[in-house]
Chain A
Amino acid sequence: MENAENNSMNTISKETFKKLFLLYTVGKFNKGVFGKKRLQKIVYIIERESEIKPFEFKKYLYGQFSESMDDMQDYLLSMGYLIASPLKTTSSDHSGNLFELADKKLIQYYSSFMENINAKLIKRIDTIINNYGYLPESELTKIAYAFSEFALAGWDSILFKEELPNRIAIKNIDEDDIEELEISLNPRFINLINRMDNVFEQDEFDPQKVKKVVELI
């Protein structure tokens, strides 16, 4: 991945990239992600084979876990970009929630950015999801626990740290589109604009009652 801090190429912030990476990854599970633990393990496998590491992972009781990724997933759920629904199965292999993109059409949009950031990375994500994404959970866990860096690490120790530059270069995408991505993936903006929209949609604020008129000079 190109660090663009010192050149004039268009860039996105690393926080935007992390959200984009997670949305793209979830979106590539064509039947949705069967549970949070599965997503954690898949992202771990993607990151361990890549020089791009959006999230730090630690060794926890239930395996490889990234707290920052878990927080990011919650942000995306509260922003309405991801949806969670209970898994309709009795199998212990698929417990918990199903996670999906709220608007599945947006996978094309996320892909267009990812391709222009690092085409190799998206191939790796796609391959890993194809190979591991729908394995029975017990099998996936066995594979994840067998990685030597995990087996040898002590509890709560860092398996690998986040490795991303502050700004990430992106080719062939114009400034307007990059800006839109940054704004639309900012959780605080989304929360505030939703609140603003609710005020007007629910007629809680009547612009007719604004009496002061100012001449702009």
Chain B
Amino acid sequence: MSNSYKFLAHETFRENIEAFLRKYPEHKHSLFANLERSRSNPFSGKPMHSLKEKLRQKVYRLWIGGPKDFRFIYYVDKKNYCVLGIYVTLIPRPEFSYDNDEWLDNLENIVGDLEKQDYDKFEKLNTGRAAKSI
């Protein structure tokens, strides 16, 4: 059995990336390439060393577009070989504040449905073919 990672997306994350694509269609390639990168090489993102030790190798960031453009944040579950999309920022980083509640409302939806084990709210995203086809 292959141990390749799966990309798991909550419906909120799907809506998040759809909103991103409506706003920035020119970044479609970069978005798909980075979603695929997070799945195929999850630990290649930027880690967060200042988090508590048990979270340090679980939360990563990648740039969409280029540095200072848009952030894609994801969580890696090593045990189950899965990557879970958390958020893609909808405004460029210099203007985006992480004190903004909107991205955390999205995360709250995701976490709430994980806790409720609401499997219907999640889907496995096939990111590979899309990334190659553009």
Give the interface of A toward B (CB within 8 A): 8, 13, 15-16, 80, 102-103, 106, 109, 175-176, 179-184, 186, 188-190, 192-197, 199-201, 203-217
A197 lies within 8 A of B58 (CB): yes
Cα(A129)–Cα(B117), bound, Å: 49
CB 8 Å contact bits of B57-88 with A (1 = contact, 0 = none): 01101000001100101010101101010000
Taking the nearest CB of chain A, how far is it from the CB of B103, in angstroms?
Answer: 9
Cβ–Cβ contact A207 & B98, under 8 A: no
Contact assessment for A207 and B80 in the assembled complex, using a CB-CB cutoff below 8 Å: yes
Query: In the complex the two chains form, what is the Cα distance from A80 to B93 in whole Å?
Result: 27
A78 to B85, CA, bound (A): 25
How many angstroms from the CA of A211 to the CA of B32 in the assembled complex? Answer: 22
Interchain CA distance A31-B43 in the complex, whole Å: 37
- Pairs across A and B, CB under 8 Å, 13 listed: A175-B68, A181-B50, A182-B99, A183-B73, A184-B51, A186-B104, A188-B104, A196-B107, A196-B111, A196-B114, A201-B79, A213-B124, A217-B130
Closest chain A residue to B131, Cβ basis: A216
Q: Which of A8, A194, A216 contacts B35 (CB 8 A)?
A: A216
- Chain A facing B: main interface SS: helix
B108 A180 Cβ-Cβ under 8 A: no
- Please measure, in the bound complex, the distance between the C-alpha atom of A13 and the C-alpha atom of B94, giving whole angstroms: 11
Residues of A within 8 A of B93 (CB): 175, 179
**Do A180 and B99 touch (CB < 8 A)?**
no
In the bound complex, how far is the Cα of B49 from the Cα of A79, in angstroms? 15
Set A80, A193, A206: member contacting B75, Cβ < 8 A: A193
CA distance A191 to B30 in the complex (A): 30
CB neighbours (8 Å) of A200 from chain B are: 77, 79-80
Nearest B residue to A189 by beta-carbon distance?
Answer: B104
> 17 additional contacts, CB 8 Å, given A109-B50, A192-B111, A207-B80?
A175-B67, A176-B61, A180-B49, A180-B61, A183-B73, A188-B101, A189-B98, A189-B104, A192-B108, A193-B55, A193-B75, A195-B115, A209-B119, A210-B8, A214-B9, A214-B14, A217-B130
Name which residue of chain A comes closest to B96, CB basis: A179
Known contacts being A189-B104, A213-B124, A215-B126, is A199 close to B50, with CB within 8 Å? no
